[in-house]
Amino acid sequence: MSIINFIEKFKKLNRTLFTTPSHGQGDFVAPLSLKLLGHKFFTCDYSEIEGFDNLASPIGIIKSAQDKAAEIYDAKATFFLINGASSGIVASMFAILKRGDKVLISRNCHKSVYNGLVFSGAVPIWLMPQYNRDWGIFEGINIDYLEEMLAKNRDIKAFIMTNPTYEGVMSDIYQISNICKKYNVILIVDEAHGALWNFHKALGTPALFQGADIVIQSLHKTAGALNPSALLHIGKNSPLGTKAIQQALNLINTTSPSYPLLVNIEATIDYLNSEKGKLYLYELVKNINRLIRSLKAIPNLEVYSYNNDITKILVKVTNMSGYELSDILYEKYGIEDEMANEKSVLFLTGLGTTKLKLKKLEKAMIDICANNIKISEDKPPKHYEPVEPRIKYTPAMVWGREYKEVDLKYALSRVSMELIADYPPGVPILLPGEVIRKEHLDYISDRQKIKVLV
């Protein structure tokens, strides 16, 4: 039985519960949250009471829902994540890597890999993807460079990469997984932004179909689910088992997973896999493509179109920084983008992106470009062009070590005890244990101090 059907049936039993959660399925709701959230959400919020399942060792309704999802995604196993893709990244690192194991990580990974490094004690080797100055974004993974790194470091145990990137750029996972297999390296793909790929061929090819061992998807990013729901899949032909992943998830997960989130995860997958869902997604993709075509016809406007997922619309306007465009859209048109950099602006679309919203964006862009709209610009944020990290200690080695705050002018060449990352996209600029370089200091020069290792 599905989680949803079970809860519907359970409600009708009208049991008297002396259990958590103490709101008693909405018998009490703090008045202000009732006003904002309504009552219904609470009526689905249960604990592991009789008949319900346990996310930490599922044998009932959660197991059935996860097994069904694994079938839909064509995975060996699928885990529902109620603490975001971040928890999937951390758990998979913790499950696979032992203290001292070497792990190759693409530097444009999400900062949750740092948490995985602290927990696992693994030693990071960073792969720097090419930086595209014209757009202010990272490119995909260069296959030759990857092979070179793996050939040079034969003891690397796993490779962690993001596909698509935060801005939608795709890499050739098929070739990457073949290289990883050749060097006996486990491939973990953070597909947080590719959660719709299994349901529409034109968006991208899921890493699960291309030989990845572990794939993590955020359902809340493009697939229309509640924050912070996500999935972790194990590849069908991967040698990895499910036990280590479950144990690692249990170490970091709450013992009170949210049933509203689990219900929403199940319902989202069900919908995406239905004929109705596929049609809905088909329409969405059609509408996005229509918008992109229209944007491309606007003079002085460029849309990034080089092997990317079109749900991430990256644009730039001639003689205008991404920050300026972002400010104009926000202040004059009430449009908020996902992210801006010195060159471009990123619009994230997904199941909730209506035709009306796309139209509004189109009109605003036409207006801005045709009428040369400007606003008085605040001081633009500093530009940071990624530099190779210099590792003095691994994140695990400096975790909990004594630190002090020093003025920036005394920080050059000291060991950072801070994680510095812009959010979004949450890509680390500097991690604890890394040597502070001039480029870092230039970038954070608005600050007074930074934490360094004593």
Ligand X SMILES: Cc1ncc(COP(=O)(O)O)c(C=O)c1O
The reply to whether 426 sits near ligand X by the rule CB under 6 A is: yes
How many residues at the interface with ligand X, by CB under 6 A? 16
- CA–CA separation, 424 and 427 (whole Å): 8
Exposed e or buried b per residue across 203-238, where buried means at least 16 C-beta atoms within 10 angstroms of its C-beta: bbbbbbbbbbbbbbbbbbbbbbbbebbbbbbbbeeb
The residue behind tokens 């009471």 is 49
Q: Does 191 bind ligand X (CB under 6 A)?
A: no
Residue 246 as a binder of ligand X (CB under 6 A): the answer is no
Nearest to 73 by CA among 225, 265, 247, 286: 265
Instruction: Please provide the distance, in angstroms rounded to a whole number, between the alpha carbons at the two ends of the chain.
Output: 57
The pairing of beta strand 428-430 with beta strand 420-421: antiparallel
- Is-contact 302 315, C-beta < 8 A? yes
Beta strand 312-317 with 339-340 is: unpaired
Of residues 199 through 218, those in contact with ligand X by CB under 6 A are 218
Check: CB of residue 133 under 8 Å from CB of residue 164: no
Q: Which residue from 166, 167, 126, 118 is spatially nearest to 145, judged by alpha carbons?
A: 126
Q: Where are the alpha helices (DSSP H) in 153-258?
A: 173-182, 243-252
Among 76, 110, 343, 440, binds ligand X (CB under 6 A): 110
Contact 425, 411 (CB under 8 A): no
> Tokens in use for 257?
């997973």
- Of 41-49, 84-92, 149-157, 251-259: span binding ligand X (CB under 6 A): 84-92
Residue 436, token pair as written in the block: 């502070």
Q: How far is the CB of 164 from ligand X (least distance, A)?
A: 8
- Compute the least distance from the CB of residue 386 to ligand X, in Å: 15
Q: Which residues, 18 to 77, sit near ligand X by CB under 6 A? A: none
For residue 235, the minimal CB distance to ligand X (Å) is 18
CB of 222 to ligand X, least distance (A): 11
Closest distance of CB 206 from ligand X, Å: 15
Query: Least distance in Å: CB of 216 to ligand X?
Result: 7
Asked whether position 393 contacts ligand X by CB under 6 A, the answer is: no
Closer CB to ligand X, 46 or 138, in the complex: 138
Give the per-residue contact string, 154-173, with ligand X (x = CB under 6 A; - = no): --------x---x-------
Q: Which residue has its beta carbon closest to ligand X?
A: 84
User: Looking at the DSSP assignment, which residues form a beta bridge with residue 105?
Assistant: 126, 160
Which segment (175-183, 322-330, 422-430, 439-447) binds ligand X by CB under 6 A? 422-430
Q: Which tokens is 145 given?
A: 């460079």
Q: x/- binding map, residues 225-244, to ligand X, per CB under 6 A? A: ---x-x--------------
Stretches 186-194, 204-212, 311-319, 443-451: which one binds ligand X (CB under 6 A)?
186-194
Binding site for ligand X (CB under 6 A): 84-86, 110, 112, 162, 166, 190, 192-193, 218, 228, 230, 424-426
